Amino acid sequence: MAHRITLIPGDGIGPEVAEAARRVVEATGARVEWDVQEAGAPAMEREGTPLPDRVLRSVEASRTALKGPITTPVGAGFRSVNVALRQELDLFAAVRPALSLPGVASRHPEVDLVVIRENTEDLYAGIEFERGSVELERLRRELRALAGFEVRADAGVTVKPISVSGTRRIVRFAFDFARRNGRRSITLGHKANIMRFSDGVFLETGVDEAGSYPDVNLEECQVDALALRLVTEPESLDVLLLPNLYGDIVSDLCAGLVGGLGLTPGANLGWEYAVFEPVHGSAPDIAGKGLANPVAMILSAAMMLAHVGESEATRAIREAVKTVLADGRVRTPDLGGTASTSEMAEAIAGAARSFLVQS
Ligand code: NAD
């Protein structure tokens, strides 16, 4: 039977890289039946909302989605579709591998990291109070009465909740992930010296849970020191476990370590659903021009195929990406070449077909 997968092309460069990934998946012969669901800017235009209910219903039915990036207009009054999807489907774990690839210039040639980011809490929980609002005025009064905290009258406020239960599940997920993937060490990033009651919970819960996993090492590292280690000695790091905001920032940093956002895939996982998407955003600066590197989306599709048990197709795609990058003749502009998104996709699809014929 075919795997039914929801395909959310997204907006900006999303439709271009989604089409590229679809072409490569089809080249592997994997049995996939796509349920294409528009979200983001095109849905906003036609249906007045960037995340129509039908998108969530489709993922609930298929349980698995491949998603392109979706623009979050700054200050437009809409909650980010990406954050909303993760929260609605309780996709609490983001998994973002950053692996050095052949033929891609980078400062550090042997990076093999995985960022595991808590996806539902922290400053991204959406608990916000607008500057000058009645609600914020009440909150200011409460804070003053509770503990004498004085929030400036012209401030806006975002609340940072980090719970033991929310942290425990991501910590266990990270340890199980490390075990399943033969990884030996987890570095937990935090700033518990400053944010004692939010990052403090993240750190304490991580250390508590580590006792049940004696075969995997847990080290803790303040996130600013971690940033330094990442740019000076990334080879010394293995799995990074981070709360939501730091995880978001560090994911892009790790993408930069291995050649840029055009190359790094990702997965958002919960107990029931899985949504695979690249780390990059909708890149409005290059959208619609055929300039986007489709590799991040293609590798996200490979993670999706691994998730549904298509191991041969997964291997074919990963090998094909390496072959095309190592060969170097077909490259998109971000990698110093002149190939278009679809030329790159076609080269990878061809390499995947050859791999499957030979294996
Ligand atoms: P971005 O990742 O879209 O782009 C950052 C830079 O990287 C740009 O110069 C862009 O051209 C380049 N880039 C990104 N992907 C590329 C690719 N595949 N090939 C070649 N170059 C690529 O980040 P941004 O500009 O900060 O965000 C744009 C929009 O995307 C914002 O609205 C943001 O909220 C949204 N966003 C969405 C997601 C998501 O859907 N999961 C993730 C991040 C950002």
Query: What's the gap in Å between 290 CA and the centre of ligand 1?
Result: 15
CA of 2 to the centre of ligand 1 (A): 32
Report the atom number in ligand 1 closest to the C-alpha of 252.
2
Residue closest by Cα to atom 18 of ligand 1 = 262
Asked if residue 35 lies in contact with residue 58, where contact means CB atoms within 8 angstroms, the answer is yes
Give the Cα separation of 276 and 262 in Å (integer).
15
Minimal-distance CA residue to ligand 1 atom 16: 262
- Active-site residues: which are they? 124, 191, 224, 248
CA of 295 to the centre of ligand 1 (A): 14
pTM score: 0.94
| 202 touches 167 (CB < 8 A) | yes
pLDDT in tens, the chain (359 residues): 899 999 999 999 999 999 999 999 999 999 999 999 999 999 999 999 999 999 999 999 999 999 999 998 776 666 789 988 998 999 999 999 999 999 999 999 899 999 999 999 999 998 999 999 999 999 999 999 999 999 999 999 999 999 999 999 999 999 999 999 999 999 999 999 999 999 999 999 999 999 999 999 999 999 999 999 999 999 999 999 999 999 999 999 999 999 999 999 999 999 999 999 999 999 999 999 999 999 999 999 999 999 999 999 999 999 999 999 999 999 999 999 999 999 999 999 999 999 999 98
Q: Please tell me the residue having the least CA distance from ligand 1 atom 42.
A: 281
- Closest C-alpha to 296, from 282, 285, 315, 313: 282
Name the residue at shortest CA distance from atom 23 of ligand 1: 281
Ligand 1 binding pocket, CB closer than 6 Å: 13, 17, 69-72, 82, 261-262, 277, 280-286, 292-293, 296, 334
Find the 279 Cα to ligand 1 centroid distance in Å: 8
